[in-house]
Structure 1
Amino acid sequence: MATKPLTYNSKRKVASDGKEKSDFKNKKPRLEATSNGKASGSEQQSSRESHAKQKQLALERKAAKPLADEVQRTKKIWERLRLKSHVPKDERQKLVAELYEIITGRIRDFVLKHDAVRAVQTAIKYSTPEQRKQIAQELQGTYAQLAEGRYAKFLIGKLLIHNDNEIRDIIIPNFYGKVRKLINHSEASWILDDIYRTVATKEQKALLLREWYGPEFTLKELTKDIKTTSDLKQILDEEPSKRGPIMKSLLDLINSLVQKRMTGFTMLHDAMLQYYTNTQPGSEEFNEFMELVKGDEAGDLLKNLAFTRSGARLVCLLLAYGTAKDRKVLLKAYKDTFTLMSGDQYGHIVLLTAYDVIDDTKLTSKAIFPEIVGEKEEEVAQNIVAAANNPNARITLLYLLEGFSKSLFPASNAYDLEVLKEVHEIRKTTSKKEDDVRRKELAAILSPSLIDAIAASPSDLTATPFGCQFVADVLLSGLGDKQKALEALAQSVSGSPKQEPAEDELAPRSRIANTPFGGRMLKSLIQGGRFDRATGKVKLVEPPLGFSNILYPVVKKHIMDWATGPSSFVVVALLESEEFTSAEELKKTLKKNKKQLQTAATEPTAEQKAAKEANESDEAGKKGKKTEAPVGNKGSKLLLEKL
């Protein structure tokens, strides 16, 4: 008789004689359940006992590890010492002393344990300079390993944060020969770049960056007699035969980090700039590098580049050399980042370069201006006031009006000029539109927003030196109807200069007439132009501002307070202005109050009194002839001469 065929997944087994065989014996016995379906009390008890045994076993294993008791004690000390505990000074000193007794001579063992390294960091925090040096020396040779640790890397930062040159020179040489490995490591790369960016000397930076150029630069014996430099051009000029391997090694490492999206490193940006500046424009290397940068779809690479010195210069060069299509792609990557860039030390240079090289001014204005200025009316004035008082953001607003003005680019912004001049040389062959045409088109688009901001918030803008300079620059160089802005500015100075601010005012402001920067701004606007040193005359703007005739009716009632106060030169400017139509009326008023002018011209001002008292206190006890400072209001003296 044939056996019955088995169905798929059948749990029955067939014996050799063809009979079915039960699998009952192979099944695990079920737990006896109580009436409510839960395990019985004895079974719950056995489960608790099992967990207790496991816990006990874990504790025994932990206790069997080396330095188990010491680690446990350091953890307790750390718990007591950390900020949240607010430990009294005497107790803290005792705990730190005990902590040092435990870890001294065994720091290497502690720092490699994730739960003990925090205690060592606390010891460093409360240590003396000598104790820190002792720890740094004891860890000599382990820093590369520590940098790879998830927690131990912070120990390196704790040692370096105190700016001790001796400790710095102990730690950094530990990374020589290991840069290519560490910069690719997920943990070590960050601490390595922080060291490179913040504490390394120029020579140490060069030694670290050189290792990007190939394996031979990691071998000290091959480079110890060579003058240390990371300037790739100099290296290639000295050994042109090595150009191929060096450029390949450098590009491979750059590409590796870009593909891993580890693009925030200053060291990477320096390396990328070295590579790009040593390629020939139009060559295969040159074009491939442009595609590498553009190929970062997330845009993180370009965004990170804009905020470092070398990175910003690299982006500027990419914009300068790029085609119209390249420039559009590069600009698009910075969407929603322009405001942040405008206020950054290096990021704003990228915006200035975009102004200077992109021929499509509509593209530039639509991409950049809505972000840095704002789109809603209520936001525009607020954004412009904030930007006008930021030393970097103000440049992005005024550059189109003022160009390379010294007031816009002080000595601290010398790097801006260096990069922009380099860009201007490149654009001669890569941009088609005339420079003046491009600038005027952009200025015509931006100016109305700047002028409207002055009309909306004159008091906010004129409360600071930067704000006053901004107002003067926009009204003298801006394009558009300025009448409302001039009237609003005049109204903002109404009232007596001697009037004190309200007592309930949270942040009382000095009146414009009492500030030197406010007086200079008003004087420039009354003159209606800028002083030209070559001709010795004021070069008037077209069309004329006519600010003198707008301002005088507002200040007429308190003109003597102006004439005898800190901003007396504003009244002098009114008399000297050719377009001022009320000069005779003003002269009559001044003649009528000539005694006030004479008093102001001969008596020391409040500032002169304060300066005299300060000089007397400084010169007390000093022998020698004392020079007397001039006394009286100089503006009042000039007014007397003109009457």
Structure 2
Amino acid sequence: MGGIKRKEAPNGAVKEVKKQKTVEHKKSKLDAAAEDDGDSFGDFSGDEDDAKKAHTEGTNDTKVAADSNGAKGFKLETTSAEAHAKQRAVAKERRAAKPNADVILRSKQLWERLRRKSHVPREERKELITELFTIINGRVRDFVFKHDSVRVIQCALKYSNQEQRRMIVDELKDDIRTLMQSRYGKFLIAKMVVEGDQGIRNVVVPEFYGHVKRLINHPEASWIMDDIYRQVATTQQKAIMLREWYGTEFALANRDVSASTSLDSNADLRKILADTPEKRKPILDHCNQMINSLVQKKMTGFTMLHDAMLQYFLALQPGTEEHTEFLELLKGDIETKAESKDGDGSGGGDLFRNLAFTKSGSRLVCLSLAWGSAKDRKVILRCFKDTVEMMASDANAKMVLVTGLDVPDDVKMSGKAIFHELLGQGIEDEKARLDRLEQVVTNLSTRVPALFPLAGGAKWLMNDQDKLILDEVDEIRKTTSKKAPEFRRKGLLEHLSPPLQEVVLKRAESLVKTSFGCQVISETLLEANSEQSVEQKVAAKEAVAQLAVGDPSEAGHIAHDTAASRMLKTLVSGGSFDPATKTTQLAEPRLEFASALFPVIKEYLVQWACSPSSFVVVALLESEDVSEGVRKEAKDALRKGKKNLEKAANGSGEVVKAVAQVADSDAKSKKKKKKVEGAKGNAGARILLEKLGA
């Protein structure tokens, strides 16, 4: 049976292959923008637009032909090489017809040479820079609005002196905002403020006055303005820019006044509202509208936004509808369980994560945790999952972790969420886990949340700024939390004590070598108490006592280390000294460290009494935490060496000379050597003589 024959496909049919799209990565740091010198221009064969036009014209040399089967095809009259040569010729003609074509081409050639920093001798570089400035002087505006030639001006800024840089800035001072909104010109602004002096910065920054609202919403200008605000602007300039978030009248006031005229730089919103209470509603509405606009656009990484959010929140009255709505706005960025792909509600939260790493933002997060309900705190803390270690290392974000430990009533949840990741409890390898622990507790920043349950807001742990935030949070906690602080602290210690006692037990020799490590040992033995680790604490106490083994007159002994001496004295005393009451606050339960230390140092007790650590022996006779048996035995041993104590008290004697020689050999600076040479007698030995006489 006959059928219909299928028509064959044309012989010349070729499957079209789609090209993969490439996405340009935008840098978001001011310094990175300032360092961007661009890519090579190759042989400067032509601009992109010229090349495209030339290619279009080159294709006109083709003719359409048909084969015997009727299929259409294309036939070139010239070869590929000839077509490309013609394209290059057309592009060259177009480029030559443009204004300043010759000088721009020469400037690009100079740039190509200058950008290879390691290949250009200093003298040659000076000559190239001099030639470059003879070209661009008076023509800077002709260079900066093209993606290729703007890099020439960036290069000139990088290698020029301040006078030459000022010349470039003076030519462009009326185009700064235009350049900021340019895809390529914004990098030139970054180079200006990074390479320039304060005088140049004082020209650039005032150009933002009156235009903050528009620039912060611009896709190109927003990040560069915020980086300049954060890194370059003075305190007064920041305040002037921040005031524009409070209303149009503030922006108009900045725009109408010249940069040389002094402007009102008070950005404290509470003070502004107190001075003009009739404007409270429009000011708050305008600020809230700007904040909400950026939050909804997911543009929450701006430092200026964080400063404005904090000022707005501090101006609200707690318990009001505005106060509640703002807290809900912050939480609105966090996905609920229904919205989250994982079903645990752990999605979103970029707003809180961005806030945590700036000064104003971290304070705002701390206040949000303090004012929030138990559910709110749980939701907020969930945002920081897997970022605890990074936050603990940051000067601002660490206080968010401290607040996360200080305010929730559910200490089991907060302690596990923070300590498990911070202390590396999920690391199976013991050595790696102990390395992580030791690094955390001896680092200036990470030790704050790690040791906070032990020391609270102690001066040696927190700076004044962190202490102010903690005091503010504690005052709010009185009205929002139900659990007593002592019960919260006890619950946290159940999580914290075992790992700290483990690192003291197994890394005591390493910890005692640094002052931070000595503080960790003291606080752990005195304050870290857990029902699950009583035996481990006893073992840790014995391990620390063994550090004092040996003759204290020998070089390298811990008796000559100031931090170790202070640590042993504190442990023997049984608690920390309270300057307010001039007494020692004994730890509960009692440590009784002297019972572990005395057998170790008994043989060399007189040498200890004559050493720089003589106050350790003084604590043996004075502390209420020392048993009567140990005190009596210590006194008997000291009476036998009374002559040596007298010589030490007067600054003479063989023991004192030996100790002085060791101390002098260990001295690492001239200042310490002078202190050793000028010492007149041992103060601890004099006190011991008085007690023995009594």
Same fold (TM over 0.5): yes
Question: Within 5 A, what are the aligned runs for 1:371-450?
Answer: 371-375=421-425, 376=427, 378=430, 379-409=432-462, 413-450=463-500
1:523 is the counterpart of 2:569: yes
Alignment equivalent of 1:631, drawn from 680, 686, 693: 680
Alignment equivalent of 1:29, drawn from 65, 89, 92: 65
Alignment equivalent of 1:490, drawn from 520, 545, 549: 545
1:205 is the counterpart of 2:238: yes
2:267 corresponds in structure 1 to 230
1:363 is the counterpart of 2:413: yes
Q: Partner letter of residue 416 of structure 1?
A: D
Whether contact under 8 Å (2:210, 2:255) holds in the other structure is no
**Greater alpha carbon shift after TM alignment, 247-256 vs 582-591:** 582-591
1:642 positional shift: 5.1
1:312 is the counterpart of 2:362: yes
Q: SS of the counterpart of 1:29?
A: strand
Q: Partner letter of residue 627 of structure 2?
A: E
1:18 corresponds in structure 2 to none
Q: Partner letter of residue 191 of structure 1?
A: I
Whether contact under 8 Å (1:324, 1:358) holds in the other structure is yes
1:208 positional shift: 0.9
Task: Say if 1:455 and 1:318 are closer, same or farther in 2 by CA, change over 3 A.
Answer: same
Q: TM-score of the superposition, structure 1-length normalised? A: 0.83
| Aligned counterparts of 2:513 and 2:380: Cα–Cα separation in 1 | 38
| Aligned counterparts of 2:440 and 2:391: Cα–Cα separation in 1 | 12
Task: Say if 1:511 and 1:335 are closer, same or farther in 2 by CA, change over 3 A.
Answer: farther
1:332 positional shift: 0.7
Q: Partner letter of residue 525 of structure 1?
A: L
Task: Say if 1:226 and 1:538 are closer, same or farther in 2 by CA, change over 3 A.
Answer: closer
Q: SS of the counterpart of 1:538?
A: strand
2:301 corresponds in structure 1 to 264
Task: Say if 1:94 and 1:496 are closer, same or farther in 2 by CA, change over 3 A.
Answer: farther
Task: Say if 1:105 and 1:562 are closer, same or farther in 2 by CA, change over 3 A.
Answer: farther
Q: Partner letter of residue 550 of structure 1?
A: A
1:196 corresponds in structure 2 to 229
1:80 is the counterpart of 2:113: yes
Task: Say if 1:32 and 1:574 are closer, same or farther in 2 by CA, change over 3 A.
Answer: farther
Task: Say if 1:96 and 1:565 are closer, same or farther in 2 by CA, change over 3 A.
Answer: farther
Whether contact under 8 Å (1:546, 1:580) holds in the other structure is no
Q: Partner letter of residue 548 of structure 1?
A: A
1:15 corresponds in structure 2 to none
Whether contact under 8 Å (1:528, 1:545) holds in the other structure is yes
Whether contact under 8 Å (2:571, 2:593) holds in the other structure is yes
Q: SS of the counterpart of 2:315?
A: coil
Q: Note the aligned Cα RMSD (angstroms).
A: 3.4
| Aligned counterparts of 1:256 and 1:132: Cα–Cα separation in 2 | 37
Post-superposition Cα deviations, 1:188-220, rounded to whole Å, max 9, x if no partner, equal: 111111111122222211221122223222213
| Aligned counterparts of 1:137 and 1:565: Cα–Cα separation in 2 | 68
Whether contact under 8 Å (2:165, 2:196) holds in the other structure is no
1:251 is the counterpart of 2:300: no
1:68 is the counterpart of 2:101: yes
Question: Within 5 A, what are the aligned runs for 1:328-343?
Answer: 328-343=378-393
Q: SS of the counterpart of 1:237?
A: helix
Q: Partner letter of residue 147 of structure 1?
A: M
1:167 corresponds in structure 2 to 200
Post-superposition Cα deviations, 1:403-455, rounded to whole Å, max 9, x if no partner, equal: 2322223xxx2222222222222222222222222222222322222122211
2:49 corresponds in structure 1 to none
Whether contact under 8 Å (1:549, 1:580) holds in the other structure is no
| Aligned counterparts of 1:617 and 1:547: Cα–Cα separation in 2 | 33
Task: Say if 1:83 and 1:572 are closer, same or farther in 2 by CA, change over 3 A.
Answer: farther
2:600 corresponds in structure 1 to 554
| Aligned counterparts of 1:44 and 1:389: Cα–Cα separation in 2 | 77
Whether contact under 8 Å (2:166, 2:200) holds in the other structure is yes
| Aligned counterparts of 2:283 and 2:523: Cα–Cα separation in 1 | 49
Whether contact under 8 Å (2:210, 2:254) holds in the other structure is no
State percent identity of aligned pairs.
49
Whether contact under 8 Å (1:608, 1:631) holds in the other structure is no
**Greater alpha carbon shift after TM alignment, 582-591 vs 390-399:** 582-591
1:478 is the counterpart of 2:514: no
Task: Say if 1:222 and 1:138 are closer, same or farther in 2 by CA, change over 3 A.
Answer: closer
Q: SS of the counterpart of 1:290?
A: helix
**Paired positions, count:** 592
Q: SS of the counterpart of 1:293?
A: helix
1:486 positional shift: 1.0
Post-superposition Cα deviations, 1:349-391, rounded to whole Å, max 9, x if no partner, equal: 1122222221111221121111111213625432332222222
Task: Say if 1:492 and 1:152 are closer, same or farther in 2 by CA, change over 3 A.
Answer: farther
Question: Within 5 A, what are the aligned runs for 1:345-360?
Answer: 345-360=395-410
Q: SS of the counterpart of 1:77?
A: helix
Whether contact under 8 Å (1:214, 1:249) holds in the other structure is yes
Q: Partner letter of residue 520 of structure 2?
A: F
Q: Partner letter of residue 269 of structure 1?
A: H
| Aligned counterparts of 1:65 and 1:367: Cα–Cα separation in 2 | 64
1:324 positional shift: 1.6
Whether contact under 8 Å (1:380, 1:449) holds in the other structure is no
Q: SS of the counterpart of 1:219?
A: helix
Task: Say if 1:632 and 1:537 are closer, same or farther in 2 by CA, change over 3 A.
Answer: same
1:623 corresponds in structure 2 to none
| Aligned counterparts of 2:608 and 2:196: Cα–Cα separation in 1 | 52
2:138 corresponds in structure 1 to 105
Post-superposition Cα deviations, 1:534-572, rounded to whole Å, max 9, x if no partner, equal: 554433223222222212333445555544433233233
1:538 corresponds in structure 2 to 584
| Aligned counterparts of 1:380 and 1:181: Cα–Cα separation in 2 | 50
Task: Say if 1:151 and 1:460 are closer, same or farther in 2 by CA, change over 3 A.
Answer: farther
| Aligned counterparts of 1:526 and 1:632: Cα–Cα separation in 2 | 23
1:506 corresponds in structure 2 to none
Q: Partner letter of residue 79 of structure 2?
A: S
Q: Partner letter of residue 544 of structure 1?
A: R
1:465 positional shift: 1.0
Q: TM-score of the superposition, structure 2-length normalised? A: 0.77
| Aligned counterparts of 2:153 and 2:254: Cα–Cα separation in 1 | 35
Whether contact under 8 Å (1:217, 1:223) holds in the other structure is no
2:627 corresponds in structure 1 to 579
Whether contact under 8 Å (2:210, 2:244) holds in the other structure is yes
Q: SS of the counterpart of 1:457?
A: helix
| Aligned counterparts of 2:298 and 2:235: Cα–Cα separation in 1 | 27
Whether contact under 8 Å (2:209, 2:254) holds in the other structure is no
Task: Say if 1:216 and 1:542 are closer, same or farther in 2 by CA, change over 3 A.
Answer: closer
Structure 1 unaligned blocks of 5 or more: 1-10, 12-26, 34-38, 501-509, 619-627
1:142 positional shift: 1.4
Whether contact under 8 Å (1:549, 1:581) holds in the other structure is no
| Aligned counterparts of 1:66 and 1:540: Cα–Cα separation in 2 | 85
Task: Say if 1:179 and 1:492 are closer, same or farther in 2 by CA, change over 3 A.
Answer: same
Question: Within 5 A, what are the aligned runs for 1:11-30?
Answer: 28-30=64-66
Question: Within 5 A, what are the aligned runs for 1:29-48?
Answer: 29-30=65-66, 43=76, 45-48=78-81
